[in-house]
Amino acid sequence: MRNWGGALVALDEGRGADYVAAIFRAIWGEAADLSLRPKLMDVLAHAKLDGDRLLQRAASPEYVARLKESTAAAAERGVFGSPTMFVGKEMFFGNDRFDFMTQALSSAA
């Protein structure tokens, strides 16, 4: 079960950072299989997110359309995986690139 529209819902609810931190920690830190609904629900619960409600909302036509639009926009920028971050037009891909991204942010400030 993959429902990446949950990030959009969490962003709209002001909980985007909590959602992303929980999901990234589970995937990159624990190698968790979030295609398993019980595991995903556990990760979201630990972040104090209502996983059932969040995923139900993410499955709505509004969020499905927004996810498609966001995915298309990311592909147009050259995104091919996660995590991908941008500082201006410079793209950083992979969790091992956070230090480079931090340097770019410092230089841009």
3 with 22, same domain: the answer is yes
88 with 45, same domain: the answer is no
Domain total in the chain: 2
60 with 107, same domain: the answer is no
Q: Which domain covers residue 1, as residue numbers?
A: 1-76
87 with 71, same domain: the answer is no
Specify the pLDDT at position 8.
95
Q: Are 43 and 32 in contact (CB under 8 A)?
A: yes
53 with 9, same domain: the answer is yes
Specify the pLDDT at position 2.
54
For all residues of the chain together, what is the average pLDDT?
90
Specify the pLDDT at position 65.
95
**Is pTM beyond 0.85 here?**
no
Place of tokens 């299989």: 33
3 with 45, same domain: the answer is yes
Specify the pLDDT at position 1.
43
10-31: pLDDT as tens digits: 999 999 999 999 998 999 899 9
56 with 95, same domain: the answer is no
